[in-house]
Chains A and B, each alone.
Chain A
Amino acid sequence: MNELLQRKPGLRAWLLLAPSFLWLLIFFIIPLGIIVVYSFLERDLYGGVVWKWTLENYRRVFDPLYFKTFLYSLWIAFLTAFFSLLFGYPLAYYIATRPEKTRNALVLALMIPFWTNFLVRTYAWLTLLRTNTGLINVWLQEWGIIDHPLPLFGNTFAITLGLVYGWMPDMILPIYAALEQLDRSLLEAAEDLYASGWQVFRRVIWPLSLPGVIAGTMLVFIPSLGAFVTPAILGGGKRLMIGNVITNQFLGAHDWPFGSALSVLMMAVMLLATLIYFRTGGEEARRGGLG
């Protein structure tokens, strides 16, 4: 055996890789294949599929109702990524510029909420946001700042807030990782050449942190696009995202093929977005980094 392995180093590599290949095959490739195959079949009335090929499910994806829901989900995902970046970048910068000990403590603090289940954390927001008994509205009214409760719940605002809260650490950490590696002497060099604070940021810091920004944006955008728990809870069930439609195809409408078609389409869009983003963004980052 040993001799065989020594004679064929390729075989050794294969043996090492086999468990992960098997894992991917069983838990990734095969389920994905089932989804794709199901998306071309006809539904059975109460769940399951009838083995007759059809394109009907993909035609229905472009039904204005579901298409609009899809656009709404894209809008929410965009808002979530935008605000996560807006609030996350300064925080990442702040953490990255602290002394090492503080830095580690702050990163830890950032991750502590993740030890609690996402569902529980989303429910916790309800206590704050509820229209009539939510703490924010109750306090604001008690202090006489507002007369009528603010519409903080059951709308786009609440959903976006919940998603930004949930995914912002995924934006902060990659940016932080990029900024933390930043060579201080480059900043000093820029200042020596009379660059203003803004110019240093725009010409040096931002381009160098761009890979982190891109990774963070993708990490926030993709799960937000497929979100279904947050709109169900913080949206009061009144706002439909594409994740809710897919969930309902399996748990309510018993239409597995249509649910599969929607999933395939969503994966395709995410893949496309990722490719475009990395291609254009990646180019820019490289140029920025070199120039």
Chain B
Amino acid sequence: MRTSIRWALVLMLLLALTACGGQGGEATQAPAAEDTTQEATAEVQPAKEIVFYNWSEYIDPEVYDLFEKETGIKVVEDNFSSNEELLAKLKGGVTGYAVIVPSDYMVNIMIQEGLLAELDHDNIPNIKNLAEEWRNVPFDPGNKYCVPYQWGTTGLGYLSDQMDEPQTWAVLFKPNPDAPWYGRATMLDDARESFAAALIYLGYDPNTTDEGQLKEARDLLIQAKPGLAGYDSDTYEDLLAAGENLLAHGWSGDFLMAQEDNENIAYTIPQEGGVIWVDNLCIPASVTPEEKLAAEMFINFILRPDIGAKISEYNYYATPNAAAEKLLPEDFLNDPTVYPPEEVRAKLHFLKPVGEAEALYQRLWDEVKAAP
């Protein structure tokens, strides 16, 4: 009996250890590259399997089946939940990802850090389908390193049967204990996004590096805290759909997707403005030639009009693909929550790298998170 207890203890310790390591995403191993010895002479063959490192619920899984049917290449998906996490993984030397999906400002940083491979446009002829405005984005002129995947905005989702449309960010930043959404609201657990909301409300540039303005934004975020149920970037739309919360700071398409579960979910951009972003398909510099070819084939596949339309119909984000737009229903293209009208678009800001001030943002964000 005594020995069995000792074994139980050992087992327990082992389990405790695995539990500790439970949260980090599993490091994905690179699929064994095909025979690379004769790479110099023979033509490169695409890898049989690639890993797509993507935001969660961001692609119709059917796309994988269609792609595999056509090319024989299997796509495995792994997820991350913030641009910073994606950068940390790549900088930490994790390899095996063939296609990644960083947002605009993160593409900037990744190019600067030498983390991205240049795209071979000969393998991506469908790049011609992109709308003109997405062919020459400021963070990557001429799509040298990346291809825009989907774009959207950051604003407020709410339950329209429980509260009026929020007109201003004050619903979060001036918490009122009598408001029905007091204690039933969430903000993104994302330093840049949450600071952007506060800075926009204050009338400042969401990319400011001014310490005074940032401290004002920090005070505002701390002031909002008693009215929040929590900081959440992954499940906020489900919590709205379930009726747990009434108001959430988040990404447009997530709310529209959650309408399938609860038709009362609505999305709006407050009068002060919001954030606009575009996520991009890129290939990390660490890929093997075989993986790179397969990755380019996959990117090319996504740029096909029918596939682009399929993806937008799944995730309710706007497509940068002009040819795909033609296949989308009229009411989707006219939906102001997907395609904000001109006067709203004028009040939307792209996030940009803030350089050295990054540390200040993170430090002030820690202060917000630690505040009572």
Binding site for B on A (CB under 8 A): 43, 45-48, 65-66, 68-69, 100, 104, 107, 111, 114, 117-119, 130-133, 153-154, 166-167, 169-170, 173-174, 176-177, 180-181, 219, 223, 226, 228-229, 235-238, 240, 244-245, 248, 250-255
Cβ of A95 to closest chain B Cβ, rounded Å = 11
Cβ of A235 to closest chain B Cβ, rounded Å = 8
Q: Are A228's CB and B23's CB within 8 A?
A: yes
**Chain A residues, Cβ within 8 Å of B5:** 107, 173, 176-177, 180
Select from chain B the residue with minimum beta-carbon distance to A107. B8
Q: Are A174's CB and B183's CB within 8 A?
A: no
Select from chain A the residue with minimum beta-carbon distance to B113. A46
Q: Are A253's CB and B359's CB within 8 A?
A: yes
Tell me the chain B residues, 323-372 only, with Cβ under 8 Å from chain A: 355-356, 358-359, 362-363, 365-367, 369-370
Binding site for A on B (CB under 8 A): 1-2, 4-6, 8-9, 11-13, 15-16, 19-20, 22-23, 82, 84-85, 87-88, 91-92, 109, 113, 183-184, 189, 191, 225, 228-232, 242-245, 355-356, 358-359, 362-363, 365-367, 369-370
Chain A to chain B contacts (Cβ below 8 Å), 10 pairs: A65-B370, A132-B243, A167-B16, A169-B12, A177-B6, A181-B2, A236-B230, A252-B85, A253-B359, A255-B359
Cβ of B162 to closest chain A Cβ, rounded Å = 11
Select from chain A the residue with minimum beta-carbon distance to B187. A237
Contact partner of A132 (CB less than 8 A), chosen from B2, B12, B92, B184, is B184
**Chain B residues, Cβ within 8 Å of A226:** 20
Cβ of A162 to closest chain B Cβ, rounded Å = 12
Contact partner of B87 (CB less than 8 A), chosen from A46, A107, A130, A176, is A46
Q: Are B19's CB and A118's CB within 8 A?
A: yes
Select from chain A the residue with minimum beta-carbon distance to B84. A252
Q: Are A255's CB and B230's CB within 8 A?
A: no
**Chain B residues, Cβ within 8 Å of A68:** 370
Cβ of A230 to closest chain B Cβ, rounded Å = 10
**Chain A residues, Cβ within 8 Å of B243:** 132-133
**Chain B residues, Cβ within 8 Å of A173:** 5, 8-9, 12
Q: Are B16's CB and A219's CB within 8 A?
A: yes
Q: Are A245's CB and B366's CB within 8 A?
A: yes
Q: Are A117's CB and B229's CB within 8 A?
A: no
Q: For chain B, what secondary structure do more than half of its interface residues adopt (helix, strand, loop), or is it mixed? A: helix
Q: Are B20's CB and A223's CB within 8 A?
A: yes
Contact partner of B92 (CB less than 8 A), chosen from A47, A170, A235, is A47
Q: Are A238's CB and B244's CB within 8 A?
A: no
Q: Are A237's CB and B230's CB within 8 A?
A: yes
Q: Are B84's CB and A244's CB within 8 A?
A: no
Taken together as a complex, chains A and B put the C-alpha atoms of A118 and B15 apart, in Å, by 9
The answer to whether A133 and B369 touch (CB under 8 A), given A174-B9, A236-B229, A255-B359, is: no
Taken together as a complex, chains A and B put the C-alpha atoms of A173 and B5 apart, in Å, by 8
Q: Are A119's CB and B1's CB within 8 A?
A: no
Taken together as a complex, chains A and B put the C-alpha atoms of A131 and B184 apart, in Å, by 9
Cβ of B87 to closest chain A Cβ, rounded Å = 6
The answer to whether A117 and B19 touch (CB under 8 A), given A46-B109, A131-B184, is: yes
Select from chain B the residue with minimum beta-carbon distance to A117. B22
Contact partner of B362 (CB less than 8 A), chosen from A100, A167, A177, A252, is A252
**Chain A residues, Cβ within 8 Å of B358:** 45-46, 253-254
Contact partner of B9 (CB less than 8 A), chosen from A43, A131, A132, A177, is A177
Q: Are B369's CB and A251's CB within 8 A?
A: no
Q: Are A252's CB and B23's CB within 8 A?
A: no
Taken together as a complex, chains A and B put the C-alpha atoms of A69 and B366 apart, in Å, by 10
Taken together as a complex, chains A and B put the C-alpha atoms of A166 and B18 apart, in Å, by 13
Taken together as a complex, chains A and B put the C-alpha atoms of A7 and B66 apart, in Å, by 68
Q: Are B15's CB and A114's CB within 8 A?
A: yes
The answer to whether A46 and B91 touch (CB under 8 A), given A238-B231, A251-B85, A252-B191, is: yes
Taken together as a complex, chains A and B put the C-alpha atoms of A154 and B15 apart, in Å, by 26
Cβ of A116 to closest chain B Cβ, rounded Å = 10
Contact partner of A47 (CB less than 8 A), chosen from B12, B23, B91, B228, is B91
Cβ of A47 to closest chain B Cβ, rounded Å = 4
With A118-B19, A131-B229, A132-B184 already in contact, 6 other A-B pairs whose C-beta atoms are closer than 8 Å = A43-B359, A66-B366, A111-B11, A173-B8, A248-B366, A254-B87
Taken together as a complex, chains A and B put the C-alpha atoms of A238 and B16 apart, in Å, by 25
Contact partner of B369 (CB less than 8 A), chosen from A104, A130, A240, A254, is A240
Q: Are B91's CB and A254's CB within 8 A?
A: yes
The answer to whether A69 and B370 touch (CB under 8 A), given A117-B19, A237-B231, is: yes
Select from chain B the residue with minimum beta-carbon distance to A151. B183
Q: Are B16's CB and A237's CB within 8 A?
A: no
Cβ of B240 to closest chain A Cβ, rounded Å = 11
Select from chain A the residue with minimum beta-carbon distance to B231. A237
Most interface-central of B242, B244, B370 (chain A CB within 10 A): B370
Q: Are A47's CB and B230's CB within 8 A?
A: no
Contact partner of A45 (CB less than 8 A), chosen from B2, B9, B356, is B356
Q: Are A154's CB and B16's CB within 8 A?
A: no
10 closest cross-chain pairs (CB), A and B: A236-B230, A47-B91, A118-B19, A237-B231, A253-B362, A240-B370, A133-B244, A252-B84, A240-B369, A177-B5
The answer to whether A238 and B230 touch (CB under 8 A), given A47-B91, A170-B16, is: yes
Taken together as a complex, chains A and B put the C-alpha atoms of A46 and B112 apart, in Å, by 10
Q: Are B369's CB and A238's CB within 8 A?
A: yes
Select from chain A the residue with minimum beta-carbon distance to B92. A47
Cβ of B194 to closest chain A Cβ, rounded Å = 11
**Chain B residues, Cβ within 8 Å of A47:** 87-88, 91-92
Q: Are B91's CB and A65's CB within 8 A?
A: no
